[in-house]
Structure 1
Amino acid sequence: MVSPAIALAFIPFVFSLLIRYRHYFWLFYRAVLVRCLRDYLTGIPKEDRAFQYIMTHAIPGDPLHILETFDQWSYHCEYLSNLGPQKAKILERLIYEKAPLTVLELGTYCGYATIVMAQALPLGARLCTVEMDARKASVAEKVIRLAGFDDDMVEQVVGPSEEVIPQLKEKYRLFQVDFVFMDHWKRCYLRDLQLLEAHDLLPEGATILADNVIFPGAPHFLQYVKACGKYKWRIHRTSLQYFRGIRDGMAQITYTGLQ
């Protein structure tokens, strides 16, 4: 049995840990504990609860207001791992700068980043967004249509990215991709980038923007991008969406086609 003196000696250490990692403890509380409790009490997944809030508070056909309503929910109600306003500005600026005609999104989630890109795309552009979770895809589909984007502009594909990417040319008539946004499982970033290369889907100058490369991180992806000689790269330093105390970043890479 631990003596009271030894237990007291650990109090400053525990207290310092709580102070140092308070943002991570708060993230765990909001993202895990609150979600589990509300899932149990309501019997409704958090993404569906968020959509109910959007339906009640957002203006249909107004993409910016829908994004703002998502932010209000994520700041004040329940945490959602949406892109968030800080990172959305980076993504939106790149879409305006690059003016891509074909965009591939890997990881639709609730459709937040999809809306950010769709409202910034040039006339006649096409966005294909891939989500492996059918329930989340259903929420995203409703959000995207609520924002006013139809199937001609935003096409949603439900399925694992490693199965969808090899089918993009034949099944989805997407022969090259000018811009790729990655925000799905971080361990899949490298695999899917190499799939895009293997199937000749990246034209010279194509831009890939990958989220969360610092937290939770995608080290193998970054190592490959830096070492393979095919890409120019830079890191946009940000914070985790809705948590300014947690450092994060987005990797912007440009395909040069060189080896």
Structure 2
Amino acid sequence: MWLLAVSLPLLPVIIVTMTRYWGELGALYQHLLRDMLPWRSAVCIRSTHSFVFTNCTHGRPKSVLETFDLYARTHPSLSLGPQRGEFLDEVVQQVAPVWTLELGTHCGYSSVRILRLLPPGGQLLTVEHNPTTADAAEEIILVAGFKHSQFQLLSCPSEEAIARLRTHLGEGLLHLVLMDHNVGLYLSDLQALEFEGLLAPGCVLLFNNAHLPAAHSLLRHISSRPGQYTIQRQAHGLLELHCHQPANHSSQDQD
């Protein structure tokens, strides 16, 4: 009883705090689930895949996304969700990218969002380091109605994928990059993209959960290059970055 008596006056403060920082708390939970509790992440992936595959209308991307969102209302989920998904939609429609790179496929939610809005001939390269997760995601993307001619799923670490992207791009460059994998890899992967000269002038980069402490080095890197990058906006845990003067082998300045 004494615990209840002490905690009741604090209830309004707890509710206000959770409401105000709900996005940050959710992002922290996702970070813990994805990077610090891999066994729990694997369970989440299998459960999500089973629910979406069973309950969506095959061949309809909208139904696949709605089923993802329905699942996330009552279960832990690694998907971007509708708010950040709509943010992503806006960017894809504005950029109309020919080449898009996604680091962190997870169950395929953001892949489906991107693919349904790409212009004719647009291609998605999506990277997932866990082969079991990659297989589940690929099945969901195909269930949504997309073909291998529209996307390629690379099952390997992001560093390895970036090192061999040129074999997929040919003479092309990346117009849109979504990073939604390990936040601690954001800076090194951005530097790898710079070093390889893979970012097109005007390329837009989106970073999920860039407000977490693990992303501080990324933000320092960006702020130290005002002529190279501009932060366009940050909302719902997504950071939108515009690249003006991509670095290359000769001009990259390592931190």
TM-score range, shorter chain: 0.7 to 0.9
Distance 2:82 2:104 in 1: 18
Map 1:204-243 → 2, pairs under 5 A:
204-215=201-212, 218-228=215-225, 229-238=227-236
**CA pair 11-125 structure 1, distance change in 2 beyond 3 A:** closer
Whichever residue aligns with residue 204 of structure 1, its letter is P
Which residue of structure 2 aligns with residue 252 of structure 1?
A: 240
TM-score (norm 1): 0.79
Map 1:1-259 → 2, pairs under 5 A:
22=18, 45-76=43-74, 78-170=75-167, 172-174=168-170, 175-215=172-212, 218-228=215-225, 229-238=227-236, 249-257=237-245
Distance 1:27 1:98 in 2: 28
Whichever residue aligns with residue 206 of structure 2, its letter is L
Bigger Cα Rg = 1
Distance 1:207 1:221 in 2: 15
Q: Deviations over 1:217-238 (max 9, x none)?
A: 6121112112123111123222
Confirm or deny: 8 A CA contact 2:159 2:192 kept in the other structure. Answer: yes
Confirm or deny: 8 A CA contact 2:194 2:246 kept in the other structure. Answer: no
SS state of the match for residue 138, structure 2?
A: helix
Gaps of 5+ in 2: 34-38, 248-255
Distance 2:53 2:164 in 1: 34
Distance 2:229 2:221 in 1: 10
Whichever residue aligns with residue 245 of structure 2, its letter is G
SS state of the match for residue 230, structure 2?
A: strand
SS state of the match for residue 97, structure 2?
A: coil
SS state of the match for residue 203, structure 1?
A: strand
Whichever residue aligns with residue 96 of structure 2, its letter is A
Which residue of structure 2 aligns with residue 246 of structure 1?
A: none
TM-score (norm 2): 0.80
Distance 1:21 1:147 in 2: 38
Gaps of 5+ in 1: 34-38, 239-248
1:79 Cα deviation after fit? 1.3
Whichever residue aligns with residue 72 of structure 2, its letter is S
Q: Deviations over 1:2-40 (max 9, x none)?
A: xxx9x999868987885566577x869x8789xxxxx89
Moved over 3 A (4+): 7-24, 30-33
Whichever residue aligns with residue 146 of structure 1, its letter is V
What is the aligned length?
234
